[in-house]
Amino acid sequence: MLWLALFFPQLLIDSAGTPADLPQLVAGRRQQRRLVVQCNRAARALGIHPSQALNAALGLCPDITVHEEDTALQQTHLHDQALHALQYSSLVSTRGDQLVLLEIAGSLKLFGGEQALLQRIISDFRQRGLALQSGVGPTPLAAELLARAGVTQAVRSCDELPARISPISTAFLPFDAAVCASLHKAGLRECGQLLALPVDAITRRFGQQTGQQLYRLLGKLPDPQVQIQAQAQFRRSLDLALETDNSHILQFTLNRLLTALSGFLRVRDCGVTELELTLQHRHIAPTCLRPRFSQPVCRRRHLLRICMEHLSRTRLPGPVLQITLSASQLLPMRYQTTPLLHDDKQSHGQDSLADLRDRLCARLGEEALYQLAVHDAHWPEQAWQRKPASEPAGTTAAGFPLRPLWLLSTPQTARCALRTGQTERIEGDWYQNGGQRRDYALARDPVNGRWYWVFREDGNSAWQIHGLFA
């Protein structure tokens, strides 16, 4: 296994959304002292560095932007980054509040080698406006150590690990802060000095934990990671810049939400079949729309088109203040495997059919589109079924006697005398139709010449028109 550690030295500053070229720092409390915990490049240029006293930093730059340390917030930001990293590896975990770990050995082939993958990941995170240091190592702790120390050269096997980490300062060891401090006090400045000591001496002096951690670092003990799972819900709101019912502005806002949703879905390799769109109004109950899709969808264009179709059908009671988009059920995407002798046209047709079905259902309602199926029953009303439009199944051809093309939903009494031919008796099931009997016949309207399918119930002389031979 090969681990990539992404260390975010100034996550709180980068996630705050303030201009990056402004000197900024994060202040925290360490043993009753206010210290600089994180600072950005602009602050470092002024001589500020982490673990400096806050007052000293303020002395160097009085108008520096100070963020308060907030571990919970930082964890949330870190979790976001870990979720984003899920698109590069299925095994992602977080460590502490500044580090994301990815197992990359399984992703190398897909992304075209180690160099390409690393470049892609790092530039992706840089584009998200995050300063980061990365390290690649054979164990999670080794990767973490390399990332914290800023060693960019990858270490690929445990054999070369001791030699490669020897020159690194022990301050970067991913151990407890107290242990690091006592290592420093004991005069162990470099990892090489620590590795030269017998492990039982380290255990005796710095505790059993430290010995085990060292073994994990060197790959002599397993170090299982708690894999993070993508949450199975999406919910996001956007406030509109101004209250409006203008469909262009609504579409613009909706598009932003759907772009986020689409990215969210793509990372999880999932799609949605149902969305909930809530439009908040001032003083009026919110408008709620529920677009549905026949198949899991993750494409933004498809999502937007169906949502806009729903929106255009809806009369808004007032201007919209805020749009909330939520998807509660994520379903795995179904991809079509392409046959070796690929028929391009066919698969394109299938794709657009699902799209078309969604569009039609969005405007006309779910009930308006259906398919017919033959049902094994003698009673004419029960000999057919509606079913939702779906993929084509096998053909159903059966040897029926002559049947009309149109069946009236309620039979009508014939107003004039009909010339009828041979009759066909159809009996209903005793448990459903009370054992009713009908004598069906083909009949011709003497006035306009149309052909009917008529029946006469037992003991009733009046003919009922049940179908038309259109």
Partner 1 sequence: MNPALEALLQSRRDLWQGDRHPGGQKTRASGFAELDAILPGGGWPAGSLTELLPEQPGIGELSLCLPLLAGITGKGSYAALVASPHTPYAPALAAAGVDLSRLWILDPGTPDDTLWASEQLLRAGAFGAVLFWAAQTRDAQQRRLQLAAESSDAIAICYRPGQAAASHSAAALRLHLQLRSDALHLHTIKARSTTATRHARLSIQRLFAARRGH
Query: Rounded to the nearest whole angstrom, what is the least distance from the CB of residue 359 to partner 1 in the complex?
Result: 6
Could you give the CA distance from residue 216 to residue 9 in angstroms, rounded to a whole number? 24
Closest CA to 275 of 284, 288, 259: 288
Least distance (Å) between residue 361 CB and partner 1: 10
Binding to partner 1 by CB under 8 A, coded x per residue (else -) over 319-348, reads -----------------------------x
Binding of partner 1 by 415 (CB under 8 A):
no
Q: Which residues contact 406 (CB under 8 A, 6 or more apart)?
A: 467, 468, 470
Residue choice 368, 416, 417, 462 for contact with partner 1 (CB under 8 A): 368
Q: Of 2-10, 209-217, 317-325, 387-395, which part binds partner 1 (CB under 8 A)?
A: 387-395
Q: If binding is defined by CB under 8 A, does position 359 make contact with partner 1?
A: yes
446: contact with partner 1 by CB under 8 A: no
* Number of residues forming the site for partner 1 (CB under 8 A): 51
For 286, the 3-state DSSP assignment is: coil
User: Residue from 331, 360, 414, 426 that binds partner 1 (CB under 8 A)?
Assistant: 360
Under the criterion CB under 8 A, does residue 389 sit at the interface with partner 1?
yes
From the list 2-10, 33-41, 57-65, 371-379, the region that binds partner 1 by CB under 8 A is: 371-379
Nearer to partner 1, 123 or 314 (CB): 314
Length, in residues, of the chain = 470
Q: Which residues contact 457 (CB under 8 A, 6 or more apart)?
A: 436, 437, 438, 464
304 binds partner 1 (CB under 8 A): no
Question: CA-CA distance, 7 to 230, in Å (whole number)?
Answer: 20
Q: Which of 383, 414, 418, 426 binds partner 1 (CB under 8 A)?
A: 383
Residues 393-412 that bind partner 1 (CB under 8 A): 393-400, 402-409
Q: Residue 397 Cβ, how far from partner 1 at the closest point, in Å?
A: 6
Closest to partner 1 by CB, 160 vs 381, is: 381
End-to-end CA distance of the chain: 71
Q: Which stretch binds partner 1 (CB under 8 A): 209-217, 275-283, 298-306, 369-377?
A: 369-377
| Alpha carbon 83 to chain centroid, angstroms | 10
Long-range residue pairs from 109-117, CB within 8 A, at least 24 positions apart, any chain: 114/2, 114/154, 117/88
Q: What is the DSSP letter of 391?
A: S
Distance CA 365, CA 329 (A): 21
Under 8 Å between Cβ of 22 and 65: yes
Could you tell me if residue 108 is left (phi over 0), alpha (psi between -120 and 50 degrees) or otherwise beta?
alpha
Give the residue with the Cβ less far from partner 1, 336 or 409: 409
Segment lying near partner 1 (by CB under 8 A), choices 56-64, 69-77, 260-268, 377-385: 377-385
In the set 62, 222, 392, 459, which binds partner 1 (CB under 8 A)?
392
Nearer to partner 1, 146 or 361 (CB): 361
Give the integer Cα–Cα distance in Å for 207 and 178. 11
Stretch that binds partner 1, among 75-83, 156-164, 221-229, 381-389 (CB under 8 A): 381-389
Can you tell me which of 301, 363, 419, 425 binds partner 1, judged by CB under 8 A?
A: 363
Q: Is 58 among the residues that bind partner 1 (CB under 8 A)? A: no
Which position among 367, 416, 421, 461 is part of the footprint of partner 1 (CB under 8 A)?
Answer: 367
What are φ and ψ of residue 436, in 5° steps?
Answer: -65, 150
Q: Which is nearer to partner 1, 21 or 367 (CB)?
A: 367
Is 449 one of the binding residues for partner 1 (CB under 8 A)? yes
Q: What angle do CA 96, 98, 103 make, to 5 degrees?
A: 80
Q: Tell whether residue 120 is a contact of partner 1 (CB under 8 A).
A: no
Distance CA 294, CA 363 (A): 14
Cβ closer to partner 1: 122 or 360? 360
Cβ closest to partner 1, residue 26 vs residue 303 = 303
Name the packing angle between helices 114-127 and 71-85 (round to 10°). 140
Tokens representing 80 are 């976001």
| Closer residue to partner 1 in complex, CB, 276/445 | 445
Q: How far apart are CA 307 and CA 21, in angstroms?
A: 40
Tokens read off for 183: 């290592």
**Is 121 buried (19+), middle (13-18) or exposed (0-12) by CB count in 10 A?**
buried
Q: Decide whether 68 or 427 has the Cβ nearer to partner 1.
A: 427
Report the alpha-carbon distance of residue 53 to residue 119 in Å, rounded.
Answer: 36
Q: Which is nearer to partner 1, 252 or 384 (CB)?
A: 384
Does residue 19 interact with partner 1 by CB under 8 A? no
Q: Which helix (H) or strand (E) holds 34?
A: strand 33-39
List contacts with partner 1 (CB under 8 A).
348-350, 352-353, 356, 359-360, 363-365, 367-375, 383-385, 389-400, 402-409, 448-451, 467-470
